[in-house]
A and B are shown apart, each in its own frame.
Chain A
Amino acid sequence: MLDLLHKIEREISGDPEEVSEAERLAALESRRSFLRMLQALALVVVLLLFFSSERLVRWVNGFEVGPVQDAIVSVSTDWHSLMADAGFTAAAETVRAELDELHGADWSELRRRIERERARTRDGVRLLRGAVPDAKS
């Protein structure tokens, strides 16, 4: 994958006039890419503030005790409550619950699940056979 970057370095070499033109275009591209990435990073911050506010609270709770820190903790906690009330944190909780189910499953639970899936497949096959008449008959 890193050859993608090496290729770019090789592009800027050769005739001085071509090089200066290449450098001008490169500077232009750098500016565009920087703005593009900056916008993307700003969106990342907003997304995480809205959907991962719990992480923010956990982070600020690790701060030392002090008037400024206490104020930050208070604002973060309020913000998290606001996000939770608005339902923004529900998606993370759902994903977490799904993972916890997978994470907590033991081998007997896995066997039961496999059996359940097999039974469901068998039922599905029976249903399909009954619903779709054999073309040869």
Chain B
Amino acid sequence: MLFPTIEFGIFFLVVFAASWAVRGMPEVRKLFLLGASYFFYGWWDWRFLGLLFLSTLINYLAGLALEKTERVGLRKFVVGVAVVAGLSILGFFKYYGFFLASLSVLLESAGLSRDLPFMQVILPVGISFFTFQGISYVVDVYRGHVKAERSLTNVMLYISFFPQLVAGPIVRAADFLPQLHHPVRLTRAHIGVGVVLILSGLLKKMFVANYLATELVDPVFFDPTAVGALDLLIGIYGYAIQIYCDFSGYSDIAIGVAALLGYRFLENFDQPYRASSLQDFWRRWHISLSTWLRDYLYVPLGGNRHGEVKTYRNLFLTMFLGGIWHGAAWTFVFWGAFHGSMLAVERYARRQIEFFAPAETAPGGLMTALGNGAQHLVGVVWTFHLVCFAWIFFRADSFATAGSYLAGLVRWGEASQYVTPFLVWLIFIAMIFQFTPRHLGRWLAKGVQHLPSPLLGLLLGGGIWLIWAIAPEGVAPFIYFQF
């Protein structure tokens, strides 16, 4: 059940009306939302409902065990078992085939061909997301950031709550569980935020991402040798916008739907292509994953507390594992390793610049301001192109395709086949929205929240009508569903 479909619209209408109708009975409401979430997940593939429940049960029991014991060693053992169990489930479903295929190639190259136990393993949708949420719960209980939940319903709802279940944002236990202990509220602000985010998410996904995917990105990545440099260059800019609109569109709708049900998720994207460094980019892109990796991987590895060399190592390892999290393919591994390496290089370069040319503390004149502005602009352009370079490997189905793509970027003699004024306009407009005032959405939400219901209905209905009218036929699945 994809968000931008009539099925989901009907599902949401029923859930919205029924869940608020029983708001006076919080436990019934939670059970209803839990049932709706399991229904939503079962709609994809009911066979994995048991897996979702098993993953939740492991984390729930680990939480209870952590609360019952004070012994440090035992607590570490419990959290270790829960994390290993979660990662084993993820590892089996997501990486089993990849591991065996890589092992087979390795053995063949060493002249030791063997019959390996290959299996057709279906990847359960959203497994990476709900596994990470489960780990977040256990580790937060272990660290004392959140109390262990006695209610299984609460833990189940936290892990399976349908707006974030299949493609995030990765909601933290410490952010969401306390909300289940307070009376749920629906205010004008919830409505304003919900309506603005749902409309912006639909526009990003159904209009921008779908057009760019079908008319530019898919054809140029299908066979990069068949097109010229202009198509390839605009194709990668197009993919940068497509993946942003696709994923942030999904996040917007998820956060908006949660807001209309009275819950608050944290922001997942913050105009990432205006970042002036890779570090800045990772503070703006998939924020729920980057902060998860920071808190549950980078910090436990030692973060920046054990000297420069270990900091570089930790940066590299965190992003390397972040790359593997995205998918079972060497191209994702390269993507993560590239980001990790460049973050380390960036940190090193910044340290050297600070050492040799410390920033002036005195207020500068016009020339200093112009210099800083130019420096910032260069940083934005450089970061965007680094990110685009890495996207080639993220999108390509193999290193061979990525290599052909990069090699084709010097073929400037060939005429363009796919770059049209419409697609360039789409990319240009989407890029402009990366540089609009940061609080544009807030202002819009504040405007919408005071509209009377007929105007609110006209706005939402008119918005959906317009998006349906201008969007291409069909709804492609969201890119992040595969992760």
Residues of A within 8 A of B (CB): 1-9, 12, 23, 26-27, 29-30, 33-48, 51-52, 55-56, 59, 91-92, 95-96, 99, 102-107, 109-110
Pick from B5, B193, B453, B454: contact of A4, CB under 8 Å: B193
5 contacts between A and B (CB under 8 A): A7-B189, A41-B13, A44-B460, A96-B470, A105-B421
Are A47 and B457 closer than 8 Å at their CB atoms?
Answer: yes
Having A1-B439, A30-B184, A105-B420, one finds 9 other A-B pairs with CB under 8 Å, namely: A1-B196, A12-B183, A26-B183, A26-B187, A27-B23, A38-B16, A48-B468, A52-B464, A92-B468
Known: A1-B193, A2-B266, A33-B191. A51 touches B182 (CB 8 A): no
Closest to B10 in A: A45
Distance (whole angstroms) from the CB of B459 to the closest CB of chain A: 8
The 8 closest A-B pairs by CB, nearest first: A43-B457, A47-B461, A40-B457, A44-B461, A40-B456, A39-B453, A1-B442, A1-B441
Distance (whole angstroms) from the CB of B183 to the closest CB of chain A: 6
Known: A8-B189, A96-B470. A43 touches B454 (CB 8 A): yes
Are A47 and B465 closer than 8 Å at their CB atoms?
Answer: yes
Residues of B within 8 A of A (CB): 5-6, 13, 16-17, 20, 23, 179, 182-193, 196-197, 255, 259-260, 262, 264-267, 420-422, 425, 439, 441-442, 444-446, 449, 452-454, 456-458, 460-462, 464-466, 468-470
Closest to A12 in B: B182
Residues of B within 8 Å of A1, CB to CB, are 193, 196-197, 267, 439, 441-442, 444-445
Closest to B439 in A: A1
Are B457 and A41 closer than 8 Å at their CB atoms?
Answer: yes
Are B185 and A30 closer than 8 Å at their CB atoms?
Answer: yes
Pick from B190, B446, B462, B468: contact of A5, CB under 8 Å: B190
Among B16, B184, B186, B193: residue with most chain A CB under 10 A: B186
Closest to B421 in A: A110
Pick from B458, B460, B470: contact of A99, CB under 8 Å: B470
Residues of B within 8 Å of A103, CB to CB, are 420, 422
Q: Is the interface of B mostly helix, strand, loop or mixed?
A: helix
Instruction: Provide the bound-state CA to CA distance between A56 and B468, in Å.
Output: 11
Are B422 and A102 closer than 8 Å at their CB atoms?
Answer: yes
Known: A9-B264, A33-B186, A44-B464. A4 touches B191 (CB 8 A): no
Instruction: Provide the bound-state CA to CA distance between A34 and B184, in Å.
Output: 12
Closest to B425 in A: A102
Closest to B207 in A: A99
Known: A4-B192, A55-B6. A47 touches B462 (CB 8 A): yes
Are A37 and B422 closer than 8 Å at their CB atoms?
Answer: no
Residues of A within 8 Å of B182, CB to CB, are 9, 12
Pick from A38, A43, A56, A106: contact of B461, CB under 8 Å: A43
Distance (whole angstroms) from the CB of A77 to the closest CB of chain B: 16
Instruction: Provide the bound-state CA to CA distance between A36 and B449, in Å.
Output: 11
Instruction: Provide the bound-state CA to CA distance between A137 and B367, in Å.
Output: 45
Are B421 and A2 closer than 8 Å at their CB atoms?
Answer: no
Distance (whole angstroms) from the CB of A61 to the closest CB of chain B: 12
Are B461 and A48 closer than 8 Å at their CB atoms?
Answer: yes
Pick from A38, A46, A105: contact of B17, CB under 8 Å: A38
Instruction: Provide the bound-state CA to CA distance between A93 and B264, in Å.
Output: 38
Are B260 and A30 closer than 8 Å at their CB atoms?
Answer: no
Pick from B5, B187, B420: contact of A8, CB under 8 Å: B187
Distance (whole angstroms) from the CB of A92 to the closest CB of chain B: 4
Instruction: Provide the bound-state CA to CA distance between A103 and B457, in Å.
Output: 29
Instruction: Provide the bound-state CA to CA distance between A70 and B177, in Å.
Output: 45
Instruction: Provide the bound-state CA to CA distance between A51 and B442, in Å.
Output: 30
Residues of B within 8 Å of A91, CB to CB, are 469
Instruction: Provide the bound-state CA to CA distance between A109 and B192, in Å.
Output: 41
Pick from B23, B265, B445, B457: contact of A44, CB under 8 Å: B457
Instruction: Provide the bound-state CA to CA distance between A46 and B453, in Å.
Output: 14
Known: A37-B16, A48-B465. A23 touches B186 (CB 8 A): no
